[in-house]
């Protein structure tokens, strides 16, 4: 009977819900699937988390034509290039 009393907390702990794993964030990676998925698509702010997730980017920034941007290189940043109409014209890491 003593063994059962010892095992009960151990077994109950096994039923506890585990938190979801953190999404992988690391160096930005843009593959062909991401390019094809978003090329020429009208950018909407609600798309940003999906694009960041697919490219493993920690942050992103929008760059419109004639925008002035810093030239620092960040491996975890995604640059979303937009044309005058708000369509995604390219994706670049940095």
Give the domain ranges of the chain. 25-93
Q: Which CATH architecture has domain 25-93?
A: 2-Layer Sandwich (3.30)
Burial of 61 (0-12, 13-18, 19+ CB in 10 A): middle
Statement: residue 1 has pLDDT above 60: no
pLDDT tens digit sequence for 44-92: 999 999 999 999 999 999 999 999 999 899 999 999 999 999 999 999 9
Is the whole model's pTM more than 0.75, yes or no?
Answer: no
Q: b or e along 26-59 (b: 16 or more beta carbons within 10 Å of the residue's beta carbon)?
A: eebebeeebeeebeeeebeeeebeebbebbbbee
pLDDT of residue 67: 94
First to last CA, the chain: 62
């Amino acid at each position: 009977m003593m063994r059962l009393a010892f095992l009960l907390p151990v077994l109950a702990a096994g039923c506890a819900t585990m938190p979801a794993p953190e999404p992988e964030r690391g160096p930005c990676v843009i593959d062909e699937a991401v390019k094809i998925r978003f090329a020429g698509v009208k950018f909407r702010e609600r798309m940003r988390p999906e694009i960041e997730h697919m490219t493993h980017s920690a942050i992103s920034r929008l760059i419109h034509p004639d925008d002035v941007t810093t030239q620092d290189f960040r491996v975890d940043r995604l640059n979303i290039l937009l044309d005058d109409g708000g369509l995604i014209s390219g994706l670049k890491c940095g």
